[in-house]
């Protein structure tokens, strides 16, 4: 505990070390301990295994040493561990979802100040179906940080062109303004900014459709989101694109997109519960013939966030 340092040869242990270093940095009294980590999340599949590990460790440490922490601090410590110790400049979404999850609700989260509200999402006769491509990825080894830097560069450029210092993030940029500046921006930065600005708009529409219970329109937003991630943000892969393209042709599929940051991992889709067996059979057969790999399917529902479980 006196010398917690990053070790590239023990990849996942660094996430645990990073969390412990946060507690020490903030003056909490913790000592050494033994722990066992078990998981049913596929590693490197783009479904927040790193955030789950970080948050699980923070909850464990808080219980073990009787630390009085609020959920916001748990999120911040976990996020800082990944940003500042592991070196992945991720946002707060994954850790926040793991901590604040609520059964039968989705979280409408504004990253300016981390204000949030719960939106009811009764899946009823539908399901969230995740398809793992088996194309493992580690964000620390991808161009994830590069994309973050490109977005930051776009914000600075837009702010400078319009001479408005109040533009501090792409959430401050409207689509109309962005198109007006298209010829004044580097083509790559324009496309990166376009993805984020249109994705923000899709989130607002998703909230509207959720409140109306319009599952078909939510599904269409997922397909539109993937198209943007594929062409404007360029974080998709051949396997992810193939799955989304094939899913779009199948009865009972409302929509789908790559999950998480991309560069491999999984597709998240919204499907009819009664059609799941047919969907998985069709996709398994096609994907195996195309890539000689059998994908993994995970049916999901919404649950409460991190908590101590009595055994």
**Coil/strand/helix, residue 206:** helix
Q: What is the pLDDT of residue 21?
A: 96
Among 246, 238, 225, smallest CA distance to 135 is for 238
Split at pLDDT 50, 70, 90, the class of 27 is very high
Confidence of residue 31 (pLDDT cuts 50, 70, 90): very high
Residue 122 has pLDDT above 90, yes or no: no
CA atoms lying within 13 Å on the CB side of residue 99:
26
As a whole number of angstroms, the distance between CA 48 and CA 55 comes to 11
Q: Evaluate the CA torsion angle 18, 20, 21, 26 in order and state its sign.
A: positive
Q: Are 39 and 52 in contact (CB under 8 A)?
A: yes
pLDDT computed for residue 183 by the predictor: 95
Q: What local confidence, expressed as pLDDT, does residue 112 receive?
A: 85
The model carries a pTM of: 0.88
Model confidence at 45, pLDDT cuts 50, 70, 90, reads confident
Model confidence over 258-268: pLDDT tens digits? 998 888 889 99
d(CA 247, CA 241): 10
* Active-site entry in 2, 38, 94, 122: 94
Instruction: Please check the confidence at residue 3 and state whether its pLDDT lies above 90.
Output: no
pLDDT at 138: 63
94 is catalytic: yes
174 CB neighbour count, 10 Å cutoff? 12
Instruction: Show the domains of the chain with their CATH numbers.
Output: 13-100 (3.30.230.10), 118-300 (3.30.70.890)
Tokens 């948050």 correspond to: 55
For residues 227-233, give the mean pLDDT. 97
């Amino acid at each position: 505990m006196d010398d917690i340092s990053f070790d590239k040869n023990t990849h996942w242990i660094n996430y645990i070390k990073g969390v412990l270093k946060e507690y020490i940095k903030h003056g909490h009294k913790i000592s050494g301990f033994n722990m066992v980590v078990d998981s049913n999340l596929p590693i490197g599949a783009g479904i927040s295994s790193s955030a789950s590990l970080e948050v699980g460790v923070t909850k464990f440490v808080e219980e073990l040493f009787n630390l009085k922490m609020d959920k916001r601090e748990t999120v911040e410590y976990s996020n800082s561990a990944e940003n500042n110790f592991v070196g992945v400049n991720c946002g707060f979404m994954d850790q926040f979802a793991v901590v604040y999850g609520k059964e039968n609700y989705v979280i409408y989260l504004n990253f300016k100040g981390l204000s949030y509200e719960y939106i009811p999402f009764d899946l009823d006769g539908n399901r969230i179906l995740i398809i793992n491509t088996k194309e493992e990825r580690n964000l620390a080894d991808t161009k994830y940080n590069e994309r973050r830097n490109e977005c930051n560069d776009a914000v600075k450029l837009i702010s400078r062109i319009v001479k408005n210092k109040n533009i501090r993030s792409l959430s401050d940029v409207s689509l109309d303004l962005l198109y007006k500046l298209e010829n004044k921006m580097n083509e790559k930065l324009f496309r990166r900014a376009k993805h984020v600005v249109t994705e923000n708009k899709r989130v607002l529409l998703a909230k509207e459709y959720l409140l109306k219970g319009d599952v078909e329109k939510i599904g269409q937003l997922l397909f539109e989101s993937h198209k943007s991630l594929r062409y404007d943000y360029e974080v998709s892969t051949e396997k992810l694109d193939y799955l989304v393209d094939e899913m779009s042709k199948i009865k009972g599929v409302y929509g789908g997109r790559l999950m998480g940051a991309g560069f491999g991992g999984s597709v998240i889709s919204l499907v009819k519960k009664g059609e799941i067996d047919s969907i998985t059979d069709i996709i398994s057969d096609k994907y195996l013939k195309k890539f000689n790999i059998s994908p993994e399917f995970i049916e999901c529902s919404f649950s409460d966030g991190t908590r101590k479980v009595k055994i």
